[in-house]
Structure 1
Amino acid sequence: MGMGLAKRKLILPLVFILIIISLLRVLKLTLISSSFSSPRLVLTTFNHEPFMLPPPIPLNPIRKEKLSKKEFRFLSDILLKKSPCNVLVFGLEEEYLKLEIINTGGSTVFLENRPERLMKVEGGYNARRVYKTEYKTYAKDAYKLLKYARSNSSCDPSLGIKSIMTECKLALTGLPKEVLKTKWDIIIVDGPCGEGPDSPGRMGSVFMAGVLARAGNGTNVIVHDVDRMIEKWFSWEFLGEENRVSSKGRFWNFRIPQQVKNSSRNSALGK
Protein backbone atom coordinates (compact mmCIF):
# COMPACT_ATOMS: atom_id res chain seq x y z
CA MET A 1 0.00 0.00 0.00
CA GLY A 2 2.82 2.39 0.91
CA MET A 3 4.62 1.91 -2.42
CA GLY A 4 1.42 2.36 -4.41
CA LEU A 5 0.66 5.59 -2.61
CA ALA A 6 4.18 6.86 -3.23
CA LYS A 7 3.87 6.14 -6.96
CA ARG A 8 0.62 8.07 -7.15
CA LYS A 9 2.23 11.04 -5.46
CA LEU A 10 5.06 11.00 -8.02
CA ILE A 11 2.77 10.82 -11.09
CA LEU A 12 1.15 14.23 -10.56
CA PRO A 13 4.44 16.21 -10.34
CA LEU A 14 5.81 14.28 -13.30
CA VAL A 15 2.79 15.17 -15.46
CA PHE A 16 3.11 18.79 -14.36
CA ILE A 17 6.82 18.85 -15.36
CA LEU A 18 6.07 17.33 -18.80
CA ILE A 19 3.40 19.98 -19.44
CA ILE A 20 5.85 22.76 -18.53
CA ILE A 21 8.49 21.31 -20.88
CA SER A 22 5.96 21.12 -23.75
CA LEU A 23 4.90 24.73 -23.22
CA LEU A 24 8.51 25.89 -23.23
CA ARG A 25 9.14 24.09 -26.53
CA VAL A 26 6.12 25.75 -28.14
CA LEU A 27 7.28 29.16 -26.89
CA LYS A 28 10.77 28.57 -28.29
CA LEU A 29 9.44 27.60 -31.72
CA THR A 30 7.21 30.68 -31.77
CA LEU A 31 10.13 32.99 -31.00
CA ILE A 32 12.29 31.38 -33.69
CA SER A 33 9.56 31.70 -36.33
CA SER A 34 8.92 35.35 -35.51
CA SER A 35 12.62 36.20 -35.67
CA PHE A 36 12.84 34.93 -39.26
CA SER A 37 9.64 36.53 -40.52
CA SER A 38 10.08 39.64 -42.68
CA PRO A 39 8.50 42.88 -41.46
CA ARG A 40 5.55 44.23 -43.41
CA LEU A 41 6.25 47.62 -44.92
CA VAL A 42 3.66 50.32 -45.45
CA LEU A 43 4.39 52.29 -48.61
CA THR A 44 2.35 54.85 -50.46
CA THR A 45 1.44 54.90 -54.12
CA PHE A 46 1.96 57.83 -56.48
CA ASN A 47 -1.45 59.06 -55.39
CA HIS A 48 -0.43 58.72 -51.71
CA GLU A 49 -2.87 55.94 -50.83
CA PRO A 50 -1.15 53.48 -48.43
CA PHE A 51 -1.20 49.73 -48.92
CA MET A 52 0.78 46.86 -47.46
CA LEU A 53 3.68 45.27 -49.35
CA PRO A 54 4.93 42.06 -47.73
CA PRO A 55 8.48 41.21 -48.84
CA PRO A 56 9.64 38.90 -50.28
CA ILE A 57 7.21 38.67 -53.19
CA PRO A 58 4.99 35.56 -53.03
CA LEU A 59 5.03 33.06 -55.86
CA ASN A 60 2.27 33.68 -58.39
CA PRO A 61 -0.09 30.72 -58.77
CA ILE A 62 0.18 28.88 -62.08
CA ARG A 63 -2.87 29.74 -64.15
CA LYS A 64 -4.65 26.67 -65.47
CA GLU A 65 -8.00 28.25 -66.25
CA LYS A 66 -8.79 30.10 -69.44
CA LEU A 67 -11.06 33.11 -69.45
CA SER A 68 -14.43 32.29 -68.00
CA LYS A 69 -17.51 32.99 -70.09
CA LYS A 70 -18.38 35.92 -67.81
CA GLU A 71 -14.88 37.36 -68.14
CA PHE A 72 -14.90 37.15 -71.94
CA ARG A 73 -18.39 38.68 -72.07
CA PHE A 74 -17.16 41.48 -69.80
CA LEU A 75 -14.23 42.11 -72.16
CA SER A 76 -16.43 41.90 -75.27
CA ASP A 77 -18.93 44.40 -73.89
CA ILE A 78 -16.19 46.98 -73.29
CA LEU A 79 -14.85 46.46 -76.80
CA LEU A 80 -18.27 46.63 -78.45
CA LYS A 81 -18.87 50.07 -76.94
CA LYS A 82 -15.78 51.45 -78.70
CA SER A 83 -15.43 49.26 -81.80
CA PRO A 84 -14.07 49.88 -84.38
CA CYS A 85 -11.09 51.16 -82.42
CA ASN A 86 -7.39 50.64 -81.63
CA VAL A 87 -6.77 47.66 -79.32
CA LEU A 88 -3.40 46.60 -77.89
CA VAL A 89 -3.08 43.22 -76.18
CA PHE A 90 -0.14 42.09 -74.03
CA GLY A 91 -0.35 38.32 -74.47
CA LEU A 92 -1.56 35.97 -77.18
CA GLU A 93 -4.04 33.67 -75.48
CA GLU A 94 -6.37 31.87 -77.87
CA GLU A 95 -9.47 33.67 -76.60
CA TYR A 96 -8.02 37.06 -77.50
CA LEU A 97 -7.82 36.21 -81.19
CA LYS A 98 -11.62 36.48 -81.22
CA LEU A 99 -11.26 40.17 -80.45
CA GLU A 100 -10.15 40.77 -84.04
CA ILE A 101 -13.62 39.70 -85.22
CA ILE A 102 -15.40 41.88 -82.66
CA ASN A 103 -13.17 44.79 -83.64
CA THR A 104 -13.71 44.44 -87.39
CA GLY A 105 -12.73 47.69 -89.08
CA GLY A 106 -10.42 48.62 -86.22
CA SER A 107 -6.80 47.80 -85.40
CA THR A 108 -5.91 44.91 -83.06
CA VAL A 109 -2.22 44.41 -82.18
CA PHE A 110 -0.73 41.66 -80.02
CA LEU A 111 2.56 41.61 -78.08
CA GLU A 112 3.93 38.13 -77.24
CA ASN A 113 7.23 36.81 -75.90
CA ARG A 114 6.73 33.02 -76.00
CA PRO A 115 8.09 31.35 -79.17
CA GLU A 116 5.64 28.45 -78.88
CA ARG A 117 2.73 30.88 -79.02
CA LEU A 118 4.16 32.76 -81.98
CA MET A 119 4.62 29.52 -83.94
CA LYS A 120 0.96 28.61 -83.53
CA VAL A 121 -0.33 31.80 -85.11
CA GLU A 122 -2.03 30.90 -88.37
CA GLY A 123 -0.34 32.45 -91.41
CA GLY A 124 2.67 33.57 -89.35
CA TYR A 125 2.58 36.05 -86.53
CA ASN A 126 3.46 39.00 -88.77
CA ALA A 127 0.30 38.34 -90.80
CA ARG A 128 -1.84 38.90 -87.69
CA ARG A 129 -0.08 42.02 -86.47
CA VAL A 130 1.62 40.16 -83.66
CA TYR A 131 4.95 41.52 -82.49
CA LYS A 132 7.58 39.50 -80.70
CA THR A 133 8.37 41.24 -77.42
CA GLU A 134 11.25 40.77 -74.98
CA TYR A 135 10.94 41.27 -71.24
CA LYS A 136 14.15 41.92 -69.30
CA THR A 137 12.74 42.00 -65.77
CA TYR A 138 11.75 39.02 -63.64
CA ALA A 139 8.90 38.46 -61.21
CA LYS A 140 11.28 37.94 -58.29
CA ASP A 141 12.51 41.53 -58.71
CA ALA A 142 9.04 43.12 -58.62
CA TYR A 143 9.33 44.51 -55.10
CA LYS A 144 12.73 46.13 -55.80
CA LEU A 145 11.47 47.56 -59.09
CA LEU A 146 8.46 49.10 -57.42
CA LYS A 147 10.62 50.83 -54.81
CA TYR A 148 13.00 51.93 -57.60
CA ALA A 149 10.14 53.43 -59.62
CA ARG A 150 8.89 55.39 -56.62
CA SER A 151 12.28 56.91 -55.93
CA ASN A 152 13.19 57.59 -59.57
CA SER A 153 11.51 60.56 -61.23
CA SER A 154 12.20 59.13 -64.71
CA CYS A 155 9.49 56.50 -64.03
CA ASP A 156 6.75 59.10 -63.64
CA PRO A 157 4.07 57.90 -66.14
CA SER A 158 3.09 61.50 -66.82
CA LEU A 159 6.46 62.37 -68.39
CA GLY A 160 5.62 60.92 -71.78
CA ILE A 161 6.99 58.05 -73.83
CA LYS A 162 10.26 59.65 -75.00
CA SER A 163 11.55 60.49 -71.53
CA ILE A 164 10.53 57.18 -70.00
CA MET A 165 11.95 55.00 -72.77
CA THR A 166 15.45 56.39 -72.27
CA GLU A 167 15.60 56.53 -68.47
CA CYS A 168 13.26 54.13 -66.63
CA LYS A 169 14.17 50.46 -66.06
CA LEU A 170 10.51 49.46 -66.26
CA ALA A 171 10.16 50.72 -69.84
CA LEU A 172 9.85 48.02 -72.50
CA THR A 173 12.51 48.76 -75.09
CA GLY A 174 12.34 47.39 -78.60
CA LEU A 175 8.63 47.99 -79.10
CA PRO A 176 7.68 48.87 -82.69
CA LYS A 177 6.93 52.49 -83.55
CA GLU A 178 3.33 51.55 -84.30
CA VAL A 179 2.82 50.59 -80.66
CA LEU A 180 4.49 53.72 -79.29
CA LYS A 181 2.81 56.22 -81.62
CA THR A 182 -0.75 54.87 -81.78
CA LYS A 183 -3.42 56.37 -79.55
CA TRP A 184 -4.93 53.21 -78.06
CA ASP A 185 -8.58 53.05 -77.12
CA ILE A 186 -8.25 49.77 -75.21
CA ILE A 187 -5.16 48.08 -73.74
CA ILE A 188 -5.42 44.55 -72.33
CA VAL A 189 -2.67 43.26 -70.04
CA ASP A 190 -2.51 39.46 -69.89
CA GLY A 191 1.15 38.88 -70.62
CA PRO A 192 3.79 37.80 -70.02
CA CYS A 193 2.67 34.75 -68.03
CA GLY A 194 4.52 35.69 -64.81
CA GLU A 195 3.94 32.27 -63.26
CA GLY A 196 7.20 31.94 -61.33
CA PRO A 197 9.95 34.05 -59.72
CA ASP A 198 12.36 33.48 -62.61
CA SER A 199 9.80 34.18 -65.34
CA PRO A 200 9.09 37.63 -66.77
CA GLY A 201 6.54 39.39 -64.60
CA ARG A 202 3.97 41.93 -65.71
CA MET A 203 5.68 44.90 -64.08
CA GLY A 204 6.78 46.33 -67.43
CA SER A 205 3.55 45.60 -69.29
CA VAL A 206 1.34 47.24 -66.63
CA PHE A 207 3.73 50.19 -66.45
CA MET A 208 3.81 50.64 -70.25
CA ALA A 209 0.02 50.30 -70.40
CA GLY A 210 -0.20 53.22 -67.98
CA VAL A 211 2.22 55.31 -70.03
CA LEU A 212 0.56 54.56 -73.39
CA ALA A 213 -2.93 55.11 -71.95
CA ARG A 214 -2.04 58.63 -70.81
CA ALA A 215 -1.21 59.46 -74.43
CA GLY A 216 -4.69 58.35 -75.54
CA ASN A 217 -8.10 59.96 -75.40
CA GLY A 218 -9.62 58.24 -72.38
CA THR A 219 -8.09 54.77 -72.72
CA ASN A 220 -9.49 51.68 -71.04
CA VAL A 221 -6.75 49.50 -69.51
CA ILE A 222 -7.99 46.04 -68.58
CA VAL A 223 -5.66 43.94 -66.40
CA HIS A 224 -6.13 40.20 -65.96
CA ASP A 225 -5.09 38.02 -62.99
CA VAL A 226 -5.54 40.75 -60.40
CA ASP A 227 -5.78 37.99 -57.79
CA ARG A 228 -1.96 37.94 -58.02
CA MET A 229 0.17 40.40 -56.09
CA ILE A 230 2.27 41.82 -58.95
CA GLU A 231 -0.80 42.66 -61.01
CA LYS A 232 -2.44 44.29 -57.97
CA TRP A 233 0.58 46.32 -56.86
CA PHE A 234 1.48 47.68 -60.28
CA SER A 235 -2.12 48.39 -61.27
CA TRP A 236 -2.64 50.41 -58.09
CA GLU A 237 0.64 52.20 -58.69
CA PHE A 238 0.56 53.10 -62.39
CA LEU A 239 -3.14 52.95 -63.28
CA GLY A 240 -4.57 54.38 -60.07
CA GLU A 241 -7.31 52.93 -57.90
CA GLU A 242 -9.33 56.10 -58.46
CA ASN A 243 -9.43 55.26 -62.20
CA ARG A 244 -10.90 51.77 -61.74
CA VAL A 245 -14.42 51.83 -63.15
CA SER A 246 -15.48 48.17 -63.15
CA SER A 247 -14.36 44.60 -62.55
CA LYS A 248 -15.37 41.02 -63.27
CA GLY A 249 -13.70 37.83 -62.10
CA ARG A 250 -9.95 38.36 -62.38
CA PHE A 251 -10.32 41.51 -64.53
CA TRP A 252 -9.95 45.11 -63.42
CA ASN A 253 -11.02 47.82 -65.87
CA PHE A 254 -9.40 51.24 -65.56
CA ARG A 255 -10.40 54.37 -67.45
CA ILE A 256 -7.30 56.55 -67.78
CA PRO A 257 -7.98 60.21 -68.55
CA GLN A 258 -5.92 61.87 -71.26
CA GLN A 259 -2.64 63.25 -69.93
CA VAL A 260 -2.35 67.03 -70.08
CA LYS A 261 1.03 67.99 -71.51
CA ASN A 262 3.67 69.44 -69.19
CA SER A 263 1.64 68.52 -66.12
CA SER A 264 3.14 67.31 -62.89
CA ARG A 265 2.75 63.88 -61.39
CA ASN A 266 0.05 65.04 -59.02
CA SER A 267 -2.06 66.68 -61.71
CA ALA A 268 -1.72 63.53 -63.82
CA LEU A 269 -3.28 61.53 -61.02
CA GLY A 270 -6.09 63.97 -60.44
CA LYS A 271 -4.53 65.68 -57.40
Structure 2
Amino acid sequence: MKDNDNVRLIINKTKYLIIGVGGLIACGLFVSTLMLNIDSPLICSFAGSRNDPANAQLETVLHYATSRMVPQQTKEEIKLSYDVLRKRAPCNFLVFGLGLDSQMWNAFNPGGKTIFLEEDPKWLQNVLQEAPFLRGEYIKYRTQLTEADELLNSYKFEPDCDPSKGIPLKQNEKCKLALNMLPDEVYETEWDLIMIDAPKGYFAEAPGRMAAIYSAAVMARNRKGPGGTHVYLHDVDRKIEKTYAEEFLCRKNLVKGEGRLWHFLIPSAVNTPAAKSKSFC
Protein backbone atom coordinates (compact mmCIF):
# COMPACT_ATOMS: atom_id res chain seq x y z
CA MET A 1 0.00 0.00 0.00
CA LYS A 2 2.81 2.34 0.87
CA ASP A 3 4.39 1.86 -2.56
CA ASN A 4 1.03 2.60 -4.21
CA ASP A 5 0.65 5.79 -2.15
CA ASN A 6 4.14 6.94 -3.19
CA VAL A 7 3.36 6.32 -6.85
CA ARG A 8 0.07 8.20 -6.51
CA LEU A 9 1.88 11.12 -4.81
CA ILE A 10 4.49 11.30 -7.56
CA ILE A 11 1.76 11.28 -10.22
CA ASN A 12 -0.13 14.08 -8.48
CA LYS A 13 3.02 16.22 -8.11
CA THR A 14 3.87 15.70 -11.77
CA LYS A 15 0.32 16.66 -12.77
CA TYR A 16 0.45 19.89 -10.73
CA LEU A 17 3.91 20.70 -12.10
CA ILE A 18 2.66 20.31 -15.66
CA ILE A 19 -0.36 22.50 -14.89
CA GLY A 20 1.86 25.16 -13.27
CA VAL A 21 4.34 25.25 -16.15
CA GLY A 22 1.46 25.40 -18.61
CA GLY A 23 -0.03 28.33 -16.71
CA LEU A 24 3.26 30.23 -16.75
CA ILE A 25 3.63 29.65 -20.49
CA ALA A 26 0.07 30.85 -21.08
CA CYS A 27 0.68 33.99 -18.99
CA GLY A 28 3.89 34.66 -20.87
CA LEU A 29 2.14 34.38 -24.21
CA PHE A 30 -0.65 36.66 -22.99
CA VAL A 31 1.78 39.35 -21.80
CA SER A 32 3.83 39.04 -25.00
CA THR A 33 0.71 39.56 -27.08
CA LEU A 34 -0.20 42.67 -25.11
CA MET A 35 3.32 44.07 -25.40
CA LEU A 36 3.23 43.61 -29.17
CA ASN A 37 0.00 45.57 -29.17
CA ILE A 38 1.29 48.34 -26.91
CA ASP A 39 -1.73 50.56 -27.61
CA SER A 40 -4.05 48.01 -25.99
CA PRO A 41 -6.40 49.71 -23.48
CA LEU A 42 -5.37 47.15 -20.87
CA ILE A 43 -1.70 48.03 -21.21
CA CYS A 44 -2.51 51.74 -21.15
CA SER A 45 -4.46 51.30 -17.94
CA PHE A 46 -1.43 50.34 -15.92
CA ALA A 47 1.61 51.32 -17.95
CA GLY A 48 0.55 54.39 -19.99
CA SER A 49 0.98 54.60 -23.74
CA ARG A 50 3.96 56.24 -25.39
CA ASN A 51 1.71 59.11 -26.51
CA ASP A 52 0.12 59.63 -23.10
CA PRO A 53 0.85 63.22 -21.92
CA ALA A 54 1.28 62.04 -18.33
CA ASN A 55 3.81 59.43 -19.43
CA ALA A 56 5.70 62.03 -21.46
CA GLN A 57 5.86 64.35 -18.46
CA LEU A 58 7.21 61.57 -16.24
CA GLU A 59 9.84 60.74 -18.89
CA THR A 60 10.77 64.43 -18.97
CA VAL A 61 11.18 64.62 -15.20
CA LEU A 62 13.39 61.53 -15.30
CA HIS A 63 15.42 62.96 -18.20
CA TYR A 64 16.26 66.27 -16.52
CA ALA A 65 16.71 64.70 -13.09
CA THR A 66 19.40 62.37 -14.40
CA SER A 67 21.10 64.61 -16.98
CA ARG A 68 23.83 67.18 -16.56
CA MET A 69 22.68 68.92 -19.74
CA VAL A 70 20.28 71.81 -19.26
CA PRO A 71 18.25 73.95 -21.71
CA GLN A 72 20.18 76.75 -23.41
CA GLN A 73 17.63 79.40 -22.52
CA THR A 74 17.83 80.93 -19.07
CA LYS A 75 15.09 80.48 -16.48
CA GLU A 76 13.93 84.07 -17.07
CA GLU A 77 13.77 83.51 -20.84
CA ILE A 78 11.92 80.20 -20.47
CA LYS A 79 9.36 81.82 -18.18
CA LEU A 80 8.19 84.18 -20.97
CA SER A 81 6.79 81.27 -22.95
CA TYR A 82 5.95 79.14 -19.92
CA ASP A 83 3.57 81.81 -18.60
CA VAL A 84 1.64 81.86 -21.90
CA LEU A 85 1.65 78.08 -22.24
CA ARG A 86 0.14 77.73 -18.77
CA LYS A 87 -2.81 79.82 -19.93
CA ARG A 88 -3.17 78.47 -23.47
CA ALA A 89 -2.36 74.76 -23.12
CA PRO A 90 -3.45 72.49 -24.61
CA CYS A 91 -2.67 74.45 -27.75
CA ASN A 92 -0.77 74.30 -31.05
CA PHE A 93 2.94 74.95 -30.50
CA LEU A 94 5.46 75.03 -33.36
CA VAL A 95 9.16 75.01 -32.47
CA PHE A 96 12.00 75.68 -34.90
CA GLY A 97 14.78 73.48 -33.59
CA LEU A 98 15.10 70.24 -31.66
CA GLY A 99 17.44 70.59 -28.71
CA LEU A 100 18.18 70.09 -25.05
CA ASP A 101 14.95 71.88 -24.14
CA SER A 102 12.57 69.96 -26.44
CA GLN A 103 11.25 67.58 -23.79
CA MET A 104 10.58 70.59 -21.57
CA TRP A 105 8.56 72.44 -24.24
CA ASN A 106 6.57 69.30 -24.98
CA ALA A 107 5.81 68.79 -21.28
CA PHE A 108 4.62 72.41 -20.97
CA ASN A 109 1.88 71.67 -23.53
CA PRO A 110 0.21 68.46 -22.27
CA GLY A 111 -2.54 67.23 -24.56
CA GLY A 112 -1.66 69.84 -27.18
CA LYS A 113 0.10 69.61 -30.55
CA THR A 114 3.83 70.33 -30.32
CA ILE A 115 5.93 69.85 -33.45
CA PHE A 116 9.68 70.45 -33.77
CA LEU A 117 11.36 71.36 -37.09
CA GLU A 118 15.01 70.29 -37.29
CA GLU A 119 17.59 70.79 -40.05
CA ASP A 120 20.11 68.14 -38.89
CA PRO A 121 18.81 64.63 -39.73
CA LYS A 122 21.37 62.81 -37.54
CA TRP A 123 20.60 64.99 -34.53
CA LEU A 124 16.88 64.51 -35.16
CA GLN A 125 17.30 60.75 -35.16
CA ASN A 126 19.36 60.77 -31.97
CA VAL A 127 16.88 62.91 -30.05
CA LEU A 128 13.85 60.89 -31.17
CA GLN A 129 15.55 57.64 -30.20
CA GLU A 130 15.91 58.95 -26.66
CA ALA A 131 12.46 60.57 -26.57
CA PRO A 132 10.18 58.77 -29.08
CA PHE A 133 7.13 60.61 -27.75
CA LEU A 134 8.39 63.88 -29.32
CA ARG A 135 7.17 64.88 -32.78
CA GLY A 136 10.09 66.01 -34.92
CA GLU A 137 10.28 66.73 -38.66
CA TYR A 138 13.36 67.15 -40.84
CA ILE A 139 13.41 70.21 -43.07
CA LYS A 140 16.04 71.44 -45.52
CA TYR A 141 16.35 75.20 -45.79
CA ARG A 142 17.10 76.94 -49.08
CA THR A 143 18.94 79.96 -47.65
CA GLN A 144 22.41 80.69 -46.30
CA LEU A 145 23.42 83.27 -43.74
CA THR A 146 25.59 85.03 -46.34
CA GLU A 147 22.40 85.92 -48.26
CA ALA A 148 20.74 87.69 -45.32
CA ASP A 149 21.45 91.27 -46.38
CA GLU A 150 20.60 90.65 -50.03
CA LEU A 151 17.31 88.91 -49.17
CA LEU A 152 16.30 91.73 -46.86
CA ASN A 153 16.95 94.32 -49.58
CA SER A 154 15.37 92.38 -52.45
CA TYR A 155 12.25 90.73 -50.98
CA LYS A 156 10.17 93.91 -51.43
CA PHE A 157 10.75 93.70 -55.18
CA GLU A 158 9.49 90.11 -55.40
CA PRO A 159 5.68 90.18 -55.74
CA ASP A 160 5.30 86.73 -54.18
CA CYS A 161 6.91 88.01 -50.95
CA ASP A 162 4.21 90.69 -50.65
CA PRO A 163 2.16 89.87 -47.52
CA SER A 164 -0.94 91.58 -48.90
CA LYS A 165 -1.25 88.95 -51.66
CA GLY A 166 -1.80 86.18 -49.10
CA ILE A 167 0.14 83.60 -51.11
CA PRO A 168 0.29 80.31 -49.13
CA LEU A 169 3.78 79.37 -48.02
CA LYS A 170 3.44 75.88 -49.49
CA GLN A 171 2.93 77.22 -53.02
CA ASN A 172 5.49 79.99 -52.83
CA GLU A 173 8.45 79.06 -55.01
CA LYS A 174 9.60 82.54 -55.99
CA CYS A 175 9.93 84.11 -52.55
CA LYS A 176 13.10 82.54 -51.16
CA LEU A 177 12.18 83.56 -47.62
CA ALA A 178 9.04 81.42 -47.74
CA LEU A 179 9.39 77.95 -46.23
CA ASN A 180 7.56 75.96 -48.90
CA MET A 181 8.96 72.52 -47.98
CA LEU A 182 7.28 71.92 -44.63
CA PRO A 183 4.99 68.95 -43.87
CA ASP A 184 1.36 69.54 -44.82
CA GLU A 185 0.29 69.40 -41.19
CA VAL A 186 2.32 72.52 -40.46
CA TYR A 187 0.44 74.49 -43.13
CA GLU A 188 -2.94 73.08 -42.12
CA THR A 189 -2.55 74.00 -38.42
CA GLU A 190 -3.14 77.43 -36.94
CA TRP A 191 -0.32 77.86 -34.45
CA ASP A 192 -0.97 79.55 -31.12
CA LEU A 193 2.72 79.77 -30.25
CA ILE A 194 5.82 79.70 -32.46
CA MET A 195 9.30 79.42 -30.98
CA ILE A 196 12.23 80.31 -33.28
CA ASP A 197 15.45 78.96 -31.79
CA ALA A 198 16.82 77.43 -35.00
CA PRO A 199 18.19 76.82 -37.55
CA LYS A 200 21.86 77.53 -37.04
CA GLY A 201 22.87 81.10 -37.68
CA TYR A 202 26.44 81.57 -36.49
CA PHE A 203 28.58 80.69 -39.54
CA ALA A 204 28.47 81.74 -43.19
CA GLU A 205 27.12 78.49 -44.69
CA ALA A 206 24.44 78.07 -42.03
CA PRO A 207 20.79 78.45 -43.14
CA GLY A 208 20.22 81.38 -40.79
CA ARG A 209 16.83 82.23 -39.29
CA MET A 210 15.71 84.64 -41.99
CA ALA A 211 13.16 82.28 -43.58
CA ALA A 212 11.91 81.03 -40.21
CA ILE A 213 11.19 84.60 -39.07
CA TYR A 214 9.52 85.60 -42.35
CA SER A 215 7.41 82.42 -42.47
CA ALA A 216 6.35 82.74 -38.82
CA ALA A 217 5.14 86.26 -39.59
CA VAL A 218 3.17 85.00 -42.59
CA MET A 219 1.59 82.18 -40.55
CA ALA A 220 0.59 84.64 -37.83
CA ARG A 221 -0.89 87.18 -40.28
CA ASN A 222 -2.90 84.44 -42.01
CA ARG A 223 -4.46 83.19 -38.78
CA LYS A 224 -8.24 82.90 -39.07
CA GLY A 225 -9.07 81.86 -35.51
CA PRO A 226 -9.56 84.23 -32.56
CA GLY A 227 -6.64 85.95 -30.87
CA GLY A 228 -3.14 86.54 -32.07
CA THR A 229 -0.06 84.34 -32.44
CA HIS A 230 2.68 84.42 -29.82
CA VAL A 231 6.08 84.37 -31.52
CA TYR A 232 9.31 83.94 -29.55
CA LEU A 233 12.69 84.66 -31.12
CA HIS A 234 15.93 83.66 -29.42
CA ASP A 235 19.43 85.11 -29.95
CA VAL A 236 18.24 88.64 -30.69
CA ASP A 237 21.67 89.84 -29.60
CA ARG A 238 22.82 88.82 -33.09
CA LYS A 239 22.46 91.30 -35.95
CA ILE A 240 20.47 89.11 -38.37
CA GLU A 241 17.91 87.97 -35.80
CA LYS A 242 17.36 91.51 -34.53
CA THR A 243 17.12 93.08 -37.98
CA TYR A 244 14.70 90.48 -39.35
CA ALA A 245 12.58 90.65 -36.20
CA GLU A 246 12.17 94.40 -36.61
CA GLU A 247 11.32 93.98 -40.30
CA PHE A 248 8.78 91.14 -40.09
CA LEU A 249 7.64 90.70 -36.47
CA CYS A 250 7.61 94.45 -35.76
CA ARG A 251 8.54 96.49 -32.71
CA LYS A 252 4.91 97.51 -32.20
CA ASN A 253 4.07 93.83 -31.58
CA LEU A 254 6.86 93.33 -29.05
CA VAL A 255 5.34 92.30 -25.71
CA LYS A 256 8.46 91.79 -23.66
CA GLY A 257 12.13 90.96 -23.87
CA GLU A 258 14.24 88.95 -21.47
CA GLY A 259 17.93 88.26 -21.97
CA ARG A 260 18.35 87.18 -25.59
CA LEU A 261 14.65 86.36 -26.11
CA TRP A 262 11.92 88.59 -27.57
CA HIS A 263 8.22 87.83 -27.23
CA PHE A 264 5.86 89.16 -29.92
CA LEU A 265 2.08 88.93 -30.16
CA ILE A 266 1.21 89.11 -33.87
CA PRO A 267 -2.40 90.04 -34.71
CA SER A 268 -4.17 88.37 -37.59
CA ALA A 269 -4.32 90.48 -40.73
CA VAL A 270 -7.29 88.56 -42.19
CA ASN A 271 -10.26 90.82 -42.93
CA THR A 272 -8.52 93.87 -41.48
CA PRO A 273 -7.11 96.99 -43.19
CA ALA A 274 -3.60 95.78 -42.34
CA ALA A 275 -4.08 92.88 -44.75
CA LYS A 276 -3.96 95.31 -47.67
CA SER A 277 -0.61 96.74 -46.60
CA LYS A 278 2.49 95.69 -48.50
CA SER A 279 4.54 96.13 -45.33
CA PHE A 280 4.64 93.69 -42.45
CA CYS A 281 4.94 96.55 -39.99
Match of residue 197 from structure 1:
204
Q: Which one of 140, 145, 153 corresponds to residue 139 of structure 1? A: 145
Amino acid paired to 1:190 = D
Q: Does the aligned pair in 1 maintain the 2:163–2:279 contact within 8 Å?
A: no
State the AA in 2 paired with 1:237: E
Instruction: Tell me which of the two structures has the higher relative contact order, counting C-alpha pairs closer than 8 angstroms and 6 or more residues apart.
Output: 1
Give the C-alpha shift of residue 125 in structure 1.
8.1
Of residues 141-150 and 126-135 in structure 1, the stretch that sits farther from structure 2 once superposed is 126-135
2:268 aligned counterpart, secondary structure: coil
Q: Are 1:189 and 1:221, in contact at CA under 8 Å, matched by a contact in 2?
A: yes
Alpha carbons of structure 1 residues 151 and 93: separation in structure 2 relative to 1, 3 Å: same
3-state SS, counterpart of residue 101 of structure 2:
helix
Task: Kindly indicate whether the alpha-carbon contact (under 8 Å) linking 2:144 and 2:206 is maintained by their aligned counterparts in 1.
Answer: yes
Q: Deviations over 1:216-254 (max 9, x none)?
A: 240011000000011111111111111111111111111
Q: 248, 253, 262: which one pairs with 2:258?
A: 248
SS in 1 for 2:165: coil
- Which residue of structure 2 lines up, in the alignment, with residue 182 of structure 1? 189
Q: Cα distance, 1:93 vs. partner?
A: 1.5
1:213 has 2:223 as partner? no
Letter in 1 for 2:195: I
2:228 is the alignment partner of 1:222:
no
The more displaced of 117-126 and 185-194 is 117-126
TM, length-normalised to structure 2: 0.68
Q: 1:172 aligned to 2:182? A: no
Q: Secondary structure at the match of 1:93?
A: coil
Which sits farther off after the overlay, 122-131 or 234-243?
Answer: 122-131
- Cα gap change, 1:167 to 1:94, in 2 (>3 Å): same
Q: Residues 174, 147 of structure 1: CA spacing in aligned structure 2 closer, same or farther, 3 A cutoff?
A: same
- Whether the 8 Å contact between 1:158 and 1:265 is mirrored in structure 2 is yes
1:112-152 Cα shifts (integer Å, max 9, x gaps): 00123212223488852211011111001100000111222
Which residue of 260, 269, 279 maps to 1:259? 269
Over 3 Å counting, the alpha-carbon distance change for 1:268 and 1:142 in structure 2 is closer
Percent identity among equivalent residues? 40
Distance of aligned partners of 1:118 and 1:241 in 2 relative to their CA distance in 1, 3 Å threshold: same
In 2: Cα distance, 1:94 partner to 1:193 partner: 15
**Higher helix share goes to which structure?**
2
Match of 2:96 among 80, 85, 90: 90
Question: CA–CA distance in 1 between the matches of 2:202 and 2:95?
Answer: 18
Deviation at 1:268, TM superposition (A): 6.3
Q: Deviations over 1:161-206 (max 9, x none)?
A: 4276233111112101110111100000011011101111111110
Higher radius of gyration, 1 or 2: 2
Q: Counterparts of 1:147-158 in structure 2 under 5 Å?
A: 147-158=153-164
Amino acid at match of 1:129: R
Unaligned runs of 5+ in 2: 1-70
Q: State the shift of 1:209 in Å.
A: 0.6
Q: How many residues are paired up?
A: 206
Q: What's the offset of the Cα at 1:264? A: 1.1
Unaligned runs of 5+ in 1: 1-64
